[in-house]
Amino acid sequence: MGTVDAELVSVSLMDDAALGSFLRKHGLALKKEEARKVAELLERDPALTELHIFNTQWSEHSSYKSSRSVLKMLPTSAPNVILGPKEDSGIIELGEINGERWGVVVSHESHNHPSQVVPYEGAATGVGGDIRDVLCMGAKVFAIADNLRFGDPDGKSGNKVRYIAGEVMNGIAGYGNAVGIPNICGDINFNGSFDENCLVNVVCLGVVREKDIIHSYAPRDAIGYDIILVGKATDNSGFGGAAFASLILDEEERESNRGAVQVPDPFLKNIIIRASYEVFEAARKKKVALGYKDLGAGGIMCATSEMCAAAGYGADISLDKVHTGMKGLPPYVIACSETQERMCWISPKSFTPAILRIYNEDFELPRISEGARAAVIGTVTGNEDYVLRQDGKVVCNAPVRVITQGIRYERKKREPKRDLKEPVLKEPSDYNGIALKILRHPNVASKMACYRHYDTTVMGNTIIHAGEADAGLMAPLPGSSYGVALKSDSNPRYNRIDPYWGAVNAVAESMRNVAAIGATPRGLTDCLNYGSPEREEAFWDFCEGVRGIADAASKIHQRGTSFPVPVISGNVSFYNESKSGTSVDPSPMVACVGIMEDYSKAITPRLKNEGSSLFLVGERKDELGGSVYYDLHSELGACVPKTNFEKEKHMIHAVIDAVGDGLITACHDISDGGLLACIAEMVLGGEADGRIGAEINADFSALPLSRILFSESSGFVMECAKGREKELNDLFVSYDLHLIALGKTRGNSLTVMKNDKEAVRLPTEKMREAWTSGFTEA
């Protein structure tokens, strides 16, 4: 193994107590046995910089050391997959336009711990990192979305919860708006399990020609190519961020953890994005092959080592050439700091001047931000060693594959004992009151107050904006009719009861949401948020969640094919628990990307016409476990919705056909709050300005009315185009589905009849007041 000029850490001579003390003193999250493993792999004691490198690369965040073997269950291949989960983002086919195949680039990341500690900056930099993941594939970024989980706003930590929620939303808005990328959908849930660990997951979309994809690894024959660092001056912000994300949060260490959170600069990012587009175009014209990668977890070290290792090369980097914003930074900070707004190119020397000119002169990075620039910091080598130098001395010299291959753990798992049972509740004496409480519940209430923080139309190509429908919809290519839909979902209470069915429901609901506007589910991403994998019960939850996603993605297969809806990118976030022993509810956030060949056919849930027929597909079942109705009674329950894969697939495909054929003018999937909340939201519309009511007859089911109205079993409610009722029924019969006639659109109230008696009468104005105030009051 290679030698270094720096002082070595005598790992081989220290006993466990001394080694543990040393690791803690230097802020290293490596376990003692892992530090000894480093020495074993290097065949010598490591230098301090090398220990910091392995501290980052062997974190759960970077190495997936506990999850990688489990993730193999996920279906990742299908004919429409251009790039699976191998690089910074996945890519699925959008379609062929003018004889060229185009792809949708998708990334899904978490920034949970940073957002709990410093919520504005944590959320903002989470958005920034996800944007970089898409940008570095050579794509034009066109949309972002978010999944947010916060604690109980009315609980013991209510003031803190509300502060964190407000700052997270401000951070997402402050970054996304400034960088000029629309936020097209979201998913927000409040739950006491998130009091000490909020979840901030972000999805980002881009578009690229297949032939123009840039990979996040060195191109062929790259020996001697330049390694170019672009962006903000490196400082100590975010140092240790990857390791920090792989630890249990300790509230007492809140202040000391702030340094592990990066500092955002969205205005600089805006310039870097625009400059990068110019580099893309220049490289295409000259037919130059490049490598491009964002600097996220592990900073310079992670990006450069992974780019070179993936192509079988090494790297020789001078840390003295790195533009820094602070004096006297030690080599391991320069190498591993997670300073934001930085990217890395691998370029032939002949093209390097063009890259430097575009960033430094044409887009004037040094003038935009003090110390920012593009600079050559190293060279690609052919010996597969990863060498870092500072002040003429070698401070790291290790086989690059040893650095990047990570380590693996085969964790033990054990099913937790869950003493769950269904509550015995009397039928409500006042259905109107219960319905209004459900509409006011923060997990059901309109989130438009949040979405109005976000710029949802900045690019001018938003077809359906956040909050307007079950999914957002964009037209990413000017002059093309193709639309890209996106929605993400997960119900933490379902997952608390049963992590398998909770994950299945997350997949199914995300697909239903995309289908409800008329788009066909073509790809999935997941952000898997769980407790410590070192706890056998938490790891069992994780394994069950992955199994649920795998089954749903495979069995609710792509329309018109026998192929799964592939999982093309994602992220695992463990250790979402605190020193108090509180773990978040298992939270597999699943996002579905849908494709429409003609976005002009898309529909929204808002009722369109007086006197139309309303239909239900999806029978009501006695499945209220985890429901909002039970939550109002401080109950959890045991019977979560269990998806019938064959029926779910047929429902989704039939709805897509119905939208495409113009048979329905409005559609909404049934989820939080159940059937009554679904219809109320259709009456109100996304902007809460609906004027058409609905008259519903609930005699179609023998279940108690509370089960009919508040069960969250999957299904859709549709407004049929006038005169096309028979065509709609025939379509669903062809899918072996029973269409239930619910009633008509009329008046300015929502009424429900049962056994010839009026059980519910909700004036539109009362529903509007409840639905629009619940989230803001929280």
Known active-site residue 441: no
d(CA 172, CA 187): 13
Measured CA to CA in angstroms, residue 431 lies from 119, 222, 519, 705 at distances of 39, 70, 35, 9
Q: What is the Cα–Cα distance from 235 to 649, expressed in whole angstroms? A: 51
Instruction: Say which residues have a Cβ less than 8 Å from residue 490's Cβ, sequence separation at least 6.
Output: 147, 187, 189, 502, 506, 587, 588, 589, 590
3-state secondary structure 425-473: CCCCCCHHHHHHHHHHCCCCCCCHHHHCCCCCCCCCCEEECCCCCCCEE
- For 251, residues 6+ apart whose C-beta sits below 8 A from its C-beta are 196, 578, 579, 580
The torsion angles phi and psi of 260, rounded to 5 degrees, stand at -85, 0
61 an active-site residue?
Answer: yes
Cα 674 to the chain's mean position, in Å? 25
Least Cα distance to 382 among 215, 222, 227 occurs for: 222
Q: With contact defined as beta carbons under 8 Å apart, do 292 and 201 qualify?
A: no
Q: Tokens 């938003």 identify what position?
A: 462
Structural tokens at position 129: 């990192």
Task: Mark 239-262 as b/e (b = at least 16 C-beta within 10 Å).
Answer: bbbbbbbbbbbeeeeeeebebbbb
Among residues 61, 323, 441, 653, the one annotated as catalytic is 61
Radius of gyration of the chain (CA): 27
Which two tokens mark 358? 């575009």
- The 3-state DSSP class for residue 9 equals coil
Cα angle 57, 145, 501 (rounded to 5 degrees) comes to 80
Of 52, 108, 111, 650, which is the active-site residue? 111
Enumerate the active-site residues: 61, 111
